Structure 1
């Protein structure tokens, strides 16, 4: 599902104060850093640590730190220096849309994978002057997608979660060849460990909040090692009561 901007914001709010919420700025920072490295490689004619003297136009010469204000907070970026000339990507200038486009890419990774539409939007926001090819942008987005998938699919036997809260909301996204705006259910499981820290244990997207949808989601958590928690359904919500997770 291709999330709308409002859908991405709502999903971010659901994860606020959790490990997943804290991970979002780091993934966005990595995306910016990867884009910086891609542009300077295109400018110099060589990848980092690559030896190709015949193709080089100049060489790297360390980094300088720059604080970038984004919608996920202030991010510390390492701007590459050059031996000859200067380097500063135009897409980091104020009022450019790269921040919004990259944020949309990261948030969509949490709901089943990054769409071609979001990659295209990021390419457009970067502009042709960046020298970064669409295939390179796609590769960078794939790396971010894999990082999110690894987090959402991680084993859950590293800690006990005496309390697990389940929340669901309907987010707007685009589906189908016509990219029609639809509303789909997004469920989030948040565990609280013995130290009181909140962790997002899993996220799933479906067509409804039917019992089968919930059971499949809860079963996937159990397969990943969630134990020591029993969920009971009470009016309009699921909540913890201790025990073991349902099959």
Structure 2
């Protein structure tokens, strides 16, 4: 059941709450957080592939090489600098691929990163995206292992618990290019942004769909409810012309 908020508070939240570029691509935006998490998962999977055994697997005993913590690395991206933790091995033979030794930039991949986290991507589409991210010939086994690690990361983000009440919720859409059955297609990534009672913004989820309709939005609403959202006082969504329309919800 939705909590009652005064019209004045709702007006303040609406005035400052719309989805802005910096919410996704700013210094504290979603892209940077997702990029860091994805790269660290991929690098961890690369080290697992290099060592030949999973972390904690008894098969690694006596193998002659093992994990040896991480080292920090600064990367310049489209959204500014991020710091990632790169895993190391004791023998010093691990050569990262997705972020190579000496590499200082990781840019031009925002569309791919954001679409990887959207619900609606098939495993094949994710593998295709990862192959493009690597941009070099890597073994199918490595891509498979990285895909498994990325799927774990993505599912954790997609299913994370949410707050029960968001006084204001915004719906918007981004157009991204996604490789589908060997062809690059434009698809919509629908973004749901929640505003908390204290005015903080939280991207609640990303969904990829060819066309929107009642069935799609029912799926989105059910997902939000399953993750703990009980209601909102105001919802806003972008119209086809790009202007905003608003409605009350309980």
| TM-score class, shorter | 0.5 to 0.7
1:68 and 1:192 mapped to 2: Cα distance?
Answer: 31
C-alpha RMSD over aligned residues: 4.0
1:188 pairs with 2:191:
yes
What is the aligned partner in structure 1 of residue 206 from structure 2? 203
In structure 2, the CA distance between the partners of 1:14 and 1:206, relative to structure 1 (3 Å rule), is: farther
Alpha carbons 2:191, 2:207 under 8 Å: kept: yes
State the match for 1:110 in structure 2: 117
| Conservation of the 8 A alpha-carbon contact between 1:28 and 1:102 | no
Task: Note the alpha carbon deviations across 1:38-83, whole angstroms, 9 max, x for none.
Answer: 25415xxx65555568973x33483462414142633232442535
Secondary structure at 1:151 match in 2: helix
1:221 aligns with 2:232: no
TM-score by length of 1: 0.65
**Structure 1 residue 16: deviation in Å?**
3.7
Partner residue, 1:74: 82
- Alpha-carbon distance in 2 for matches of 1:33, 1:233: 37
CA distance change for structure 1 residues 238 and 15 in 2, over 3 Å: closer, same or farther? farther
Which moves more between the two structures, 160-169 or 47-56? 47-56
Say if 1:124 and 1:134 are closer, same or farther in 2 by CA, change over 3 A.
Answer: farther
2:246 is aligned to: 239
From 41, 46, 57, the equivalent of 2:51 is 41
Provide, for residues 79-124 of structure 1, a one-character-per-residue CA deviation record: whole Å limited to 9, x for no partner: 42535xx435163134699x56987764332233352322434566
For residues 102 and 171 of structure 1, what CA distance do their matches in structure 2 show? 11
How many equivalent pairs are there?
Answer: 217
Closer, same or farther: CA 119–203 of 1 in aligned 2, 3 Å = closer
Residues 205 and 238 of structure 1, relative CA distance in 2, 3 Å threshold: farther
Point out where structure 1 has 5 or more consecutive residues left out of the alignment. Answer: 1-11
Which residue matches 1:147?
153
* Conserved 8 A contact 1:164-1:189: yes
- Residues 125-140 of structure 1: pairs in structure 2 closer than 5 A: 125=136, 127=137, 133-140=139-146
